[in-house]
A and B are shown apart, each in its own frame.
Chain A
C-alpha cells in the first residue's frame, strides 16, 4: 500500500508517461495525456488499495485516455495500450529499450539509404537539412527518400508484427 497520494504519484508517473510516449511519439502529447490520467485516476483511488491495484487502475485509465486522444485527433485508434502485456509488478520495464529492439529489427531489413535517412532523422534527431548534408543529397532528395523509407519500414513492421 502507498502512504499517501504523493507516493502513488511519484512511484507511477514515470512509467505512465513512458508508456504513453511510446504510443503517441510526442512529448507534449504524452505530458497532456499523463496529466489526464492522474487527474482522472486519483479521484476514485483509495490509499487502502494495493500497489498492484493502483497500477492496474492507472493502466486502465491510460488505455481509455489514449483511446480518447486518437478518437479526438484522427477519429480512430491509431495505437492502443494492451493490458495483456502489462505486469503491475514491473510497470517500469524499460519501454524505450523494447522499442529500440523493434526499431533495430525494422531498420536492419531496409536498404542502406533508407536505413540511414530514418536513423538520422528519427533516432539521431537531425533536421531534414542536416540529414541531407550528412548523406550528400539535396534536401528535396532527402525528403523523398524519407517518405519512401518510412513506407518501406511500415511494410516491414507489418510483416514482422511490431
Chain B
C-alpha cells in the first residue's frame, strides 16, 4: 500500500497518525480524507470515558500543586510526604493558577535529602479518607480513587506516602503490578515505580515522574489532600 493509502487507512480505522514521509503533492487528498471522515454523523462528539479520564488527570495535576500559599509550617506538621517526584512535575504542575493568581513559588526546604522538591498540596483542598490505617500494611501499596483524583498509597518504614495514579504522558489510569512494585500504563507501555519515578518507556518525549500527593494518618484513617470539590 502506498504511504498515502496507509495514511487514509489510518484515518478510516481511527488509528494514530505516526511520523510519515509523504509527498506534499498528496496533501489535498489527505485533507479530503480527514474532511470526509469527520463528516460522519456524530464523529466530532467526545467520548464520555475520555472526558472522565482527562478530568482525573487534570485533578491529579492539581492535587500535586507545588505552591502552597498558606503558611507551610502549619500544614507540614500534618503532612508526611516524600517528595520524590516533586522537583520535576513538569507540565500542568501549576494548576492552582486556575484557582488563584496570587500563587508564589514555595520557599520550603526539601522534604528529604534525596530529591529536594517542595511539599505538594493544592490551595483549596480537603483531607479525604481513602483507606483505614490497618488496610495499608507495612510495605503495602493500595490504590485509591476519588473520581477526579486517583493514586496509589504505600507504607514504608511506617510512613505513608502517595503518588498520582495517572500516567504523566496522556493521563491513562495506571495498573499496579504488586509483585514488581511498579505501576504500568496500559496505553503506551510506560512503567513507574510505586514512588513515582519513571522506570521505562518508549515514548518520543521526556516523561515526567508521577506527582506526589499529600497524605496523612489521623484517627486510624489514611487521608489524602485533594482539590476542593473532588469526591466519589
A residues engaging B (CB < 8 A)?
Answer: 4-6, 8-10, 13-14, 17-18, 21-29, 31-32, 34-35, 38-40, 42-48, 72-76, 78-79, 95-96, 99-100, 102-104, 106, 118, 121-123, 125, 147, 150-151, 153-155, 157-158, 162
Contacts and interface: CB of A to CB of B under 8 A. Distances in A.
A37 to B, nearest CB: 10
Interface residue range, chain B: 35 or more
A96 B94 CA distance: 34
Given A9-B58, A45-B97, A76-B24, A150 B33 contact: yes
Contacts, number: 183
B170 A35 contact: yes
A8 B62 CA distance: 14
A29 B16 contact: yes
B189 to A, nearest CB: 15
Interface of B: 5, 8, 10-12, 14-22, 24, 27-47, 50-51, 54-55, 57-58, 61-62, 91-95, 97-101, 148, 170-171, 228-229
Given A35-B171, A39-B92, A103-B39, A47 B98 contact: yes
B86 to A, nearest CB: 16
A128 to B, nearest CB: 9
Q: Is the interface of A mostly helix, strand, loop or mixed?
A: helix
B98 A4 contact: yes
Given A14-B46, A46-B97, A150-B32, 4 more contacts: A6-B229, A102-B35, A122-B40, A153-B29
Nearest to A39: B92
Tell which of B27, B51, B98 has the most Cβ of chain A within 10 Å: B98
Contacts of B58: 5, 9, 38-39, 42
Contact of B46 (A6, A18, A73, A155): A18
Nearest to A45: B98
Nearest to A121: B12
B167 to A, nearest CB: 11
B39 A6 contact: no
A158 B11 contact: no
Contact of A72 (B19, B28, B62, B95): B19
A153 B36 contact: yes
B34 A24 contact: yes
21 contacts: A4-B98, A5-B58, A5-B99, A8-B98, A9-B58, A17-B44, A17-B50, A21-B43, A21-B44, A26-B11, A26-B16, A32-B170, A35-B170, A38-B58, A39-B57, A39-B92, A40-B91, A47-B100, A96-B42, A100-B41, A157-B35
Nearest to B11: A25
A35 B35 contact: no
